[in-house]
Amino acid sequence: MKIDGKTKLTGIIGYPIEHTLSPVFQNAAFKKVGLNWVYLPLLVRPIQLGSAIKGLKALNFVGINVTMPHKREVIKYLDELSPTVRISGVANTILFKKNSLVGYNTDGQGFVESLKRNVKFSPRGKNVLLIGAGGAAKSIAVSLALAGIKRLVIINRTPERAQRLQRLIHDNFPRCIVKVLAANDEKIVSLQSESQLIVNATSIGMLSNPGLPIGMENIGRKHLVYDVIYEPTETQFLIDAKKRGAKTLNGAYMLLYQGIASWQIWTGQSAPVAAMTAALEAQRRLKGAKNNGKSQPTVRKNPDRI
Ligand code: NAP
């Protein structure tokens, strides 16, 4: 990679940031299309978020991704918001224009794109069971509603948060039926069996937060089970769902497609999807090798552009 006085700057801010996989496939994309751009991981403590945004602007950054814990807080520093950021209150991408900072949310878009690309699942008219009501769940709920799902059932440990998400979807997408259920509600059996897509958008299943987000009794062959977690590659939720005959997908695909959408916002060009996929795949294989040789499933290659 050549860095010189003309190199344009992009990156990702978060706290912590060491775990991020985004630089690998974002930089691979710049290289593939011959852009003299670079994507950097940047550690930003919550208390320094405002100064960091000001500094990035002063340093002429073209754009950045925003990850935990800044996705909500960053909005107050932005001048314009995309419709999905306005509705969800969550931003993961910023474009530094000459006179304004524009916020986008490509997380939900990445989620829906991965459904279409990886498993040919069209959300239109479908019933969805969503576990979680945090930032990822909000982004996913808004994008699924935009994509025309028929019904959304939300389950969350903190019911008030689920109810807030219910109101948000109801107010913005009145045609989408939204319900909130407690994990032990007996209606869950029928609602789950009528759902085509079941999504874990909580952090349950991460190495630091093991376990299952819901009981597995009613999960079976007719379900597509999606876990937004990509580390570990297969959470216990996906392992058990697969054993019960469900189709499964992990969060690596959401990560990839949200990154592709961000790249396109910054560059104004179609992203080299195949190169980005290959770079992520290689990195994950490398990580798999480091993790005691445990194998990592591949990210499906698709040379098309989005
Ligand atoms: P968040 O805003 O902090 O929300 C966390 C969610 O998990 C909340 O619904 C929370 O419930 C629930 N939760 C956490 N620990 C729990 C426990 N022990 N028992 C029950 N519920 C629990 O975080 P987020 O940004 O939404 O992230 C959630 C997950 O999505 C993380 O694993 C993150 O890495 C992943 N993610 C993946 C991608 C991707 O591209 N694949 C993108 C974004 C996020 P309460 O409301 O009750 O606290």
- Pick the residue whose CA is nearest to atom 40 on ligand 1: 255
Ligand 1 contact, 163 CB (< 6 A): no
Q: Which of 97, 59, 91 is nearest to 74 (CA)?
A: 91
Strand locations in 60-189, DSSP E? 63-66, 80-81, 93-96, 101-104, 127-131, 151-155, 177-181
What is the rounded CA–CA span in Å between residue 3 and residue 292? 35
> Any residues with CB less than 8 A from the CB of 70 and at least 6 apart, and which?
13, 14, 15, 44, 46, 49
Least confident of 2-6, 45-49, 183-187, 202-206: 183-187
| Centre of ligand 1 from the C-alpha of residue 140, in Å | 12
d(CA 231, CA 225): 16
Reported residue count of the chain is 306
Q: What is the rounded distance in angstroms from the CA atom of residue 186 to the CA atom of residue 190? A: 8
For residues 172-194, give the mean pLDDT. 89
Q: Whose CA is nearest to atom 27 of ligand 1?
A: 136
Centroid of ligand 1 to alpha carbon of 56 (angstroms): 28
How many whole angstroms separate alpha carbon 20 and alpha carbon 104? 19
> From CA 262, how far away is CA 265, in angstroms rounded?
5
**CB neighbours of residue 3 within 10 Å:** 9
Task: Please write the tens of the pLDDT for every residue from 87-143.
Answer: 999 999 999 999 999 999 999 999 999 999 999 999 999 999 999 999 999 999 999
Q: What is the largest distance, in Å, between two alpha-carbon atoms of the chain? A: 63
Ranges of beta strands (E only) in the chain are: 8-14, 37-43, 63-66, 80-81, 93-96, 101-104, 127-131, 151-155, 177-181, 197-200, 224-227, 247-250
* pLDDT value of residue 290: 64
258-263-268-270 Cα dihedral, nearest 10 degrees: -80
58-62, 186-190, 246-250, 277-281: least confident range: 186-190
Q: Is a pLDDT exceeding 80 seen at residue 299?
A: no
- Non-local CB neighbours of 105 within 8 Å, separated by 6+ positions: 82, 84, 85, 88, 90, 91, 92, 93, 139, 142
- CA-closest candidate to residue 107, choices 255, 290, 1, 210: 255
One of 71, 120, 243, 301 is an active-site residue; which one? 71
Alpha carbon distance 210, 205 (integer Å): 4
Query: Which atom of ligand 1 is the closest one to the Cα of 132?
Result: 9
Q: Across the strands, what pairs with 128? A: 152, 197
For residue 192, the model assigns a pLDDT of: 84
Known catalytic residue at 71: yes
Q: Distance (Å, rounded) from C-alpha 284 to C-alpha 137?
A: 24
pTM, entire model: 0.92
pLDDT over 60 at 306, yes or no: no
pLDDT-wise least confident of 45-59, 75-89, 256-270, 277-291: 277-291
206 lines ligand 1 (CB under 6 A): yes
What pLDDT sits at residue 257?
98
Per-residue pLDDT band for 22 (boundaries 50, 70, 90) equals: very high
> Is the CB of residue 136 below 6 angstroms from any atom belonging to ligand 1?
yes
**pLDDT averaged over every residue in the chain:** 92
Q: What pLDDT does 289 receive?
A: 63
Taking each helix axis from N to C terminus, what angle separates 22-33 and 273-290, rounded to the nearest 10 degrees?
140
Separation of first and last alpha carbons in the chain:
25
Hey, which of 202, 206, 235, 276 would you mutate to test ligand 1's pocket, going by the most ligand atoms within 8 Å of its Cβ? 202
Which residue's structure tokens are 């407690």? 182
